[in-house]
Every structure is written in structure tokens, then in C-alpha cells.
Amino acid sequence: MLIEAVIFLPLAAAVLLLAIPKAAAAALKGVALVATLATFGLSLSFVGGAAAGVSDVHPWIGGAVTALYHVRIDAWSVFFVLLTTFVSVPAVWAAFSYGDGARLRGYLILLLAFEWTLLGLFTAGDLLLFYVYWDLMLVPVFLLLAGYADTPQARRAAWGYLLYNGAGGLILLLGVVGVVVGSHTFEVLGHSYAVSIVAERWLFVAFALAFLIKTPVFPFHAWMPATYTYAPPPVVAMVSAIQSKAGLYGLIVFALPLFPHAAAWAAPTLLALAVISIIYGALTALGQSDAKTLVAFSSLSHLGLVILALFSFAKIAVPASVVMIVGHGVIVAALFLLLGFVEERTGTRELAAFGGLAAVAPRLAAFMLIAAMAALGLPGLASFSGEFLIFIGAWQTQPVYTAIALIAVVLASIYMLKLFQGVMHGALREPRPSKDDRLIELKPRELALVAPLVAAMFFIGLWPAWINVRSPASTPAAAAQRVEGRP
Amino acid sequence: MIALPSVNWAVVAPPVVLGAAGLLVMLVDLVSRRALRGWLYLIGIAGCFASFATMLRIAGVSQTTLSGAFATDRFSWMFDALLIFTLAVSLALSALKKAEDGGSPASYAALLVFCTVGGMVMAGATNLIGIFLGIEQLSLALYVLAGTGYPRESSKEAALKYVLLGSLASGFLIYGSALLYGATGSISLADMGAAAASPSPLFVTGLALFFVGIAFKLALSPFHIWTPDVYEGSPIAITAYMAVAVKAATFAVLARFVYTVFAHDSIALVPLWAIAILSMVVGNVGAMRQRNLKRLLAYSSIAQSGYIVVALAGVSTGGLSTMIFYVAAYAFMNLGAFALIALVGDGDEAYADLGAYRGLFFRRPWVAALLALFFMSLAGIPITAGFMGKLYLIFTGLRAGPWGIAMAAALIAGTLVSFYVYFKVIWEMLVREEPEAVGATGNHWIPWIAAVAGAAGTLFLGIAPYAFYALLAYL
């Protein structure tokens, strides 16, 4: 029952918001924030028992297709659930300053619905439920981009987002149906799927394509720059921090265990794509003048590392990936929210168009500095732990690819410093963003909502073991993979 | 003296009671000097309830009567129920029709009821004569109804196109039936199995002509040319009825025909699979360019017809229940969408244009949200009936050999195209601008009820399909 509470609390809050009049802004905000906080609180209770796992199963559909309603939170999913509930709090809170008030209700409802679909995805215990949420999460993001970003670019970006991810979803559906036609069940969690090697490869390709589009990984990232750049900050924080992990989660939980032989067969291609993503993302980030686009490409680069880890079949691939995933989620959410505050104050995202904010907004500058340092991999902060584990692990099996990927660490320092200096250092541009310099500093609400993210960066950076000892180290299927994946 | 066949009145009661209600509508119009339009529709709706009441007595019964020419079983029962539901919704929506829109309310309501009697005959018919009678009864009344918006030129055009092309299709159908009779020596579908197992050229020719006639009624491509114009020109309540009831009744005929005549998958059915794939392509691609919601839903219905054929793939055991599920899903989402178009238009057909829906989300959030739900269901987004229906169809297709797999693949590809089609409407509703066509302020309670019923059905089938199957098993 507690699992259902975690999954459906955001949805229940969204429905409750429908009953509150639009004018009652305080009540709307209160319900939304309390709901996300409560969801986070409930999800924390699963950390202790994650090793054993909790699940809930009911009969669901019959007829020509039979499936169970199966949800679970276990070692595989607990940190994805935590990341979702944790990042949703500041995202929903940041949305409070949105727009004219009349549309705040719809905005909050869609954000809460988005949280619900993400939680549903990470707790799905069978392929059908996983697919249902996989497709469903397109809807709130499409609606938010098309209706709540208020720029023509965002409205166009909605199409790129929908059609790319929709195509990925339908490819995944082919794969899911292919598995179920052969195995006669959606309950494939923790099993490998014994079919002919050719069929296994095709099915793996279907799953992997969908997951790579969602993450995204080069060359399937065409939808990403526009979505990340033009989506409102709370939306892009949730998309980049949480939704981008859906594909990686799918690889870890479904694709790799189900198709170990095909994964080994595809590993060279995926490693190459991972390294291209890492380097291409970093180089492209260097050339960006738009702050959000810069962070978008840095995200492409960082998530490429996770693909590198997973397909190096290193012994610590999964725990290292989970540490990296959680770290990246926290950092990228903070960066996008902070850049949102900056854009709110200056009206621009162009790095050339502002500067010197550190002089008038020291707290904003301090948070920005920590987030940027975390993103470039400074030891003691979140990204470092994940990157370090990944490099150590992947080095043992794939030294060449790992060596190339290491270049990205240098590049990350350059673009992140460029971002920070562009925004914070130098002379304050004229005309000043605000007549009163004090208005540029973070407001208490903004400070309070980013602070936990910053705290989490230190926490993960200093105590990554909190995560990786609880992550599953290996499964029978993963072991088979490692043997075959060895060159 | 010819001996009349004995009649089991319980079996034929639903269409008979409904037909009597139709006659009552005409009679009341005759005797009351100043017939209140609303009362006539209400008599029709009361007839729906009466007819459904007689159906309750034969729920779960599997019997034939009239010397085996007319049957009642689970299959026909579900279709009859859907037809009655559609009739009730269409009659209710008809009450919004503006007085100056022409046509006497009495003939209008009575014809709509007689249409449905024809549809119920189709659902229960077990021989070629019954099928033809049902189809003609349905079609002839509908030709007239398509023209009841006649002050508008497009309505006249719709009626003329429909009657000309429809008669041609009936010609194909009756000629095909004649050849089938010639090839098998029987008009009963049950006697055609042997001929279908080793088909003669005569049988194949008859089958082809018969399928052409059916494909026309289903708006399957390449026999769909009439559809967009007729859907656009007809009054909205009639368009809704056409889109749902005609398809449901004709699919009942097609399914009964295929399942009775063919015990297994047959090479003779390949043309049917081919036109299903073509329909998915033509319907979805054609819908991309449409800016009138009635035309858009017309192309959508072409594609959806193609999807429903997948249920027959391989003539599998689960196929019939899959078809019933999808037809029910189709009925809920289409009736809901048409009800909302009627609501926004408030009796004025001009407001079916997409321009009237710009920014609807911010002006009328509930209307827009429900419309978005129906369009998402048509697109096959999860937790809606459309998704579950498509899932069942894909599985049915994949288990049915190469043609089934091809159809399932076309269904998935068509779905991606349809994302653009349906989300374009949602996208327009989300723009923050004043509408091009100012107005669209209708808020009549009748379409609200229809839309909420449609939404309930759409979500129910999407979230709890097992309950629907439990109902199906109980019958």
C-alpha cells in the first residue's frame, strides 16, 4: 500500500488542485508543495528495506492479452524513485513564480502529473506497466511545452519532443510485444529471455533505440537542445534530471538483463556512441552562447559516461552508474533552476549579454559556483564520485574508450568555468537588470528550494557509499554478460 | 398456402420494439398539432430504453429464429447495445439542431430510429438476404439524414454523394451475394464453409464484390472517397451516428461473415488485409492536412476502420472479443469527440473549423481537457481505451502469421503519424491567442452528458479492461 501512496500521491494532489479555485493561489501552492514533500518523505522510508524490496501485485487485464498490475521498489529502483521525489520538490516550488496566476493551477497540475508518470515508470514491475508510463509521460511535457512556455520556439520544441519520443515509444512497443509473444508474460523482471540470437538482437535493438532516444545519446539527441533550451526551468529541471534517466533505467533493469548476448554483441557500437556523445557533447557545449543550451550539451556528455560504464560490463558498472545518475540529476536540476532565476532577472540566456552578477548577488553566485564545480567533477562534490567510479571500472575492461572519454573531464572544466564566469564575473552589464541591485539576489524561497539540491551535491560527493552499497552489484544475467563482454 | 416460419419473439424483440418507437414518433407528429421537437427525440430515446429492456431478457442467450435467418448471441448482443447507445446519443445531440436547418424533426428522429433497426438486423443476420436488408434499411434512411442540413450547400452535396456512391456499393453487394449464392447454392452463411475451403472462381468473384460493398460502408480505402465530404456536410449528430453506428453494424456483418464462412485463415482474405493496411496509411496521412475537425475525424475513421480489421487477422479465437473491445472503445471516444464539437459549435456547423479551437484550453479548460482525452485515445496514449484496444489488436495481429504482422506494423507506423494528427488539435488548443472565429460559446447540457459518458467509457476501458472482459464472459 505504501508503494501506491508514493506513486499516486502526486496524482491525487493534481486531482485535488482541480477542485481548488484558480484564484486561491496560496491554497494551490500549499497543496502542491505539501504533496511533493510528503511523497519525498514516504519514498525515504524505502531506503532501509531496499535490499529485500517491496512489491504489490494484482490481476489487471485479461482477454487476448493477460497482464498483472505489478509495482515494486527494490534495490534497482529505489534511487531512481528517490531522485524523482527529491527533485520534484524544488521543481514544483520553483513553478510558484510562474506567469499571471490564472494559469498557475494548470501548470502545477501538469508538473504533479509528470511526477506521477515518472514514479510509475520507476516502480513498474512488469513490461506493460513500464510501457504505459513510458508513453504517458510524453503528455504532460508536451502540454507544458505547448501551452505554458509562452514562446513560439517552445511550442515548436513540443513537436520535436513528442515525435522523437513518440517514435521511440512505438519502437519500444514493438520490442515489448515481441518479448511477450515469445515468453507469454509481461513479468520478465530479473529473467533473461531465451530466444534465438537473431531474435534477441532485434529485440535488443528495439529496446535500446527507445532508451537511447530518451536519454539521449548521440545521434538520437536532435530533440534535446530545443526542449532543454526553451522549456520553462521547472520543466527542464524535471526532464533533464529525472526523465533523462528513464532510458538508463530501462537499460539497467530491462534491456541488459533480458538480452545479455545481444548486449554483448552490440557493446562495441554502444561504446562508440557513448564516447562520441561524451566528446561531441563537451565540444558542442564549449561553443554555446546560450547558457541553457550549454548545460543541455554538458548533460549529453555526462550521460554518455553512464552508457560507457554499462557497456564496459565492468564489475561495478551498475553501482557506479547509479551514483553518477543521482549526482547528475541533482546537479543539472540545480543548474537549470539557477539559470532560470538568472533569466527571470536579466531577461536573457545569452552568456554575452550578462555578467558580473556575483557583485550584487553573492548567494546566487555561490550556489552557481558549487553547481558548476560539481558538474565539472570537483572531488567532494556529486559528479566526482560517479565519474571516478565509472573511470576506474571501465578502465579495466575498455581502456581505450575510457582514455578518450577522460578528455571530456578537461573540456568540462573549460565550459563550466566559461558558464560561471560569463554569468557571474566581469563588469555588470548596462543597463542593469534591475534598478535596485538587491532585487537580483536570491529571494528566500529561491534560496530554500535550491539549498537542498546543493546539500545533496555535498552528500553524494562525500558519501557515495550511501548509494553504491545499496545498489545491486550484479545479477546472474550481468555476470554472463561480463564473461561474454570481455574482449 | 406457404407455411410461415415460427417466430421467437424474444429474439427479435429489440429491433421490433425500436421500430415500434419509430412509428410512434411519426404517429405523435401526425396527431399533435404543434409537435414539440424535443418530445419527439425523447420518444426515440425512450424507445432505446425499451429496446434495451427487451435485450436484458436475452442476455447470454444464443438462439436463432425465422428459420435460422436471424440470431442472437453474445456477439450481436454487444453490437446491439452499442447501436442503441449510439442512437440515444445521436438523438440527444440532434436536439441542438437549429430550427432553420431544415427537415421536419419527426421524420428526422424516426429515420434515425429506423437506421438503428437496420443496424440491429445486420448484427443478427445470418444469411445474405438478412444482411442486405439490414444494410439497405440503414443506408436508405441515412442518405436522407445526410441531407437534413440542407440550407447548407455542403449538406446537399453530402446527401447526393452518399446516395450515388452508396447505391453503387449496394450494387456490388447484391451482385456479390448473387454470385455467392450461385457458387454455393445457399444464402445461409453457415452453408458456405465447404465452398470457402476450396474456393471456385465464381465464389472468389462473389466474395470480392461482397467485400467491396462492405468496404464502402466501412470507409476502407480505396473505397473511402465519399467519407470526408459526407462527414463534413452532414449535421453533426448524423456525422457522429455515421462514424459509430454504421461502422459497428457493418463490422458485425463482416465479422460474422468471416467467422462463419472461414474456419481458418484463408488466402481469399488477403485482399481484406491489404485494404486494411492501405486504409491505415490513407486515413492517417490524409488526416494530417485537415483543418476541419469533422473532416479530420472522417480520415481518422478511415484509419480506425483499418485498425479494427486487424482483429479478424488469422480468424483467431480471441479475435471477436478484441473486435468488440475496439469497436466499443471507438464508439466512446468518437461519440465523446463529436459531442464536444457539437457543444463548441452550439448547433452551428461552421465551428468545426480548427480556428475556433485556438486557445480553448485557457478559455474553456474542461471542454479542452475532455477533447484532448478523446484525441489522445484516438492516438493510442495509455490509460485510454484506444491504447488498450491497440494493444489487443497488435497481439492479435502478431499471432496471425505474416499478414497479421504486416498489419500490426502498419498499425504502429500509422499510430506515429496519428500522433501528429491528434496532437496538432491539442497544440492549437494550447496557443495563447484569441480564436480566429470568435463565438464558440455553446454550453448546452446535453452534449456535456454525452461527453462525460464518453470520457467515462474511454477511461474505464483504458484502465480496467478486465472488467469489460468479465462482462463479455458473463453474457
Interchain pair A166, B419: CB under 8 A: yes
Q: Find cell 540566456 and name the residue.
A: A349
Q: Quick one: cell of B177?
A: 451475394
Q: Which residues of A touch B (CB under 8 A)?
A: 59-65, 102-103, 106, 128, 131-133, 135-136, 138-139, 142-143, 146-147, 150, 155, 158-159, 162-163, 166-167, 170, 173-174, 177-178, 180-181
A424-429: long-range contacts (C-beta < 8 A, 24 or more apart)?
A424/A355, A424/A356, A424/A357, A424/A358, A424/A364, A424/A365, A424/A368, A424/A369, A425/A355, A425/A356, A425/A358, A426/A355, A426/A356, A427/A355, A427/A356, A428/A355, A428/A356, A428/A357, A428/A359, A428/A360, A429/A353, A429/A354, A429/A355, A429/A356
pLDDT of residue A433 exceeding 70: no
Interchain pair A155, B427: CB under 8 A: yes
Dihedral sign for Cα atoms in the order B432, B438, B444, B447: negative
Interface ipTM above 0.85: yes
C-alpha dihedral over B327, B329, B333, B336, to 10 degrees? 90
Interchain pair A147, B395: CB under 8 A: no
Residue of B358, B419, B422, B431 for testing the chain A interface, max A β-carbons within 10 Å: B419
Interchain pair A136, B466: CB under 8 A: no
Interchain pair B432, A159: CB under 8 A: no
CA distance A239 to A296: 11
Q: What percent of chain A has pLDDT over 70?
A: 93
A199 to chain B: which residues are within 8 Å by CB? none
Q: Determine the pLDDT at residue A476.
A: 42
Comparing A195 with A407, the larger pLDDT belongs to: A407
Determine, yes or no, domain membership for B467. yes
**In chain B, whose CA is at the least distance from the CA of A134?**
B382
pLDDT of residue A239 exceeding 70: yes
Q: Determine the pLDDT at residue B435.
A: 55
B382 to chain A: which residues are within 8 Å by CB? 131-133, 135-136
Asked if the C-beta of B165 comes within 8 angstroms of chain A's C-beta atoms, the answer is: no
Determine, yes or no, domain membership for B283. yes
**d(CA B427, nearest CA chain A) in Å:** 6
Report which residue type is found at A425.
H
A59 to chain B: which residues are within 8 Å by CB? 466
Output the pTM of the full model: 0.93
**d(CA B375, nearest CA chain A) in Å:** 12
Q: Quick one: cell of A67?
A: 497482464
Comparing A40 with B466, the larger pLDDT belongs to: A40
pLDDT of residue A131 exceeding 80: yes
Q: Determine the pLDDT at residue B199.
A: 83
Number of Cβ within 10 Å of residue A471's Cβ equals 22
Q: Determine the pLDDT at residue B356.
A: 84
pLDDT digits (tens, 9 = 90+) for A403-429: 999 998 899 999 999 888 888 887 776
Interchain pair B365, A106: CB under 8 A: yes
Interchain pair A63, B432: CB under 8 A: no
CA distance B279 to B298: 12
Determine, yes or no, domain membership for B4. no
**3-state secondary structure string across A454-477:** HHHHHHHHHCCHHHHCCCCCCCHH
Q: Determine the pLDDT at residue B436.
A: 55
Specify burial of residue B195 (Cβ count, 10 A radius: 0-12, 13-18, 19+): buried
CA distance B314 to A246: 36
Which residue from A136, A158, A167 is facing B381, i.e. has the nearest CB? A136
pLDDT digits (tens, 9 = 90+) for A45-98: 988 877 777 888 888 887 777 888 889 888 889 999 999 999 999 999 999 887
Q: Determine the pLDDT at residue B439.
A: 55
Residue B178: give the domain boundaries: 9-474
Domain count, chain B: 1
3-class secondary-structure state, position A88: helix
Q: Determine the pLDDT at residue B61.
A: 82
Q: For chain A, which residues make up each domain, given as ranges? A: 266-487
Interchain pair B321, A63: CB under 8 A: yes
Q: Determine the pLDDT at residue A430.
A: 63
CA distance A310 to A321: 7
In contact, A217 and A274? CB cutoff 8 Å: yes
**d(CA A288, nearest CA chain B) in Å:** 29
Determine, yes or no, domain membership for B36. yes
Which residue from B321, B381, B391 is facing A139, i.e. has the nearest CB? B381
Interchain pair B398, A158: CB under 8 A: no
Residues 6+ apart with CB under 8 A from B456: none
CA distance A371 to A453: 9
- Chain centroid to Cα B375, Å, comes to 17
Determine, yes or no, domain membership for B2. no
A159 to chain B: which residues are within 8 Å by CB? 420, 427
Determine, yes or no, domain membership for B215. yes
In contact, A298 and A285? CB cutoff 8 Å: yes
Interchain pair A132, B423: CB under 8 A: no
Average pLDDT in chain A: 88
pLDDT of residue A487 exceeding 50: no
Q: Mutual orientation of helices B9-31 and B105-124 as an angle, nearest 10°?
A: 170
Q: Which of B384, B349, B370 is CA-nearest to residue B425?
A: B370
Question: CA–CA distance from A484 to each of A89, A252, B103, B424, B434 (Å)?
Answer: 42, 17, 76, 47, 62
Mean pLDDT per block of 10 residues along chain B (475 residues) reads 77 92 89 70 92 89 84 90 95 76 76 95 93 95 88 86 93 95 90 85 93 94 92 91 95 94 85 95 94 94 96 87 94 95 79 84 89 96 94 90 92 95 93 62 82 95 86 73
Determine, yes or no, domain membership for B3. no
Residue of A66, A109, A170, A176 for testing the chain B interface, max B β-carbons within 10 Å: A170
Q: Determine the pLDDT at residue A203.
A: 92
In contact, A278 and A305? CB cutoff 8 Å: yes
Q: Which band of pLDDT confidence, cut at 50, 70 and 90, is reported for residue A486?
A: very low
Q: Where are the beta strands (DSSP E) in B265-336?
A: none
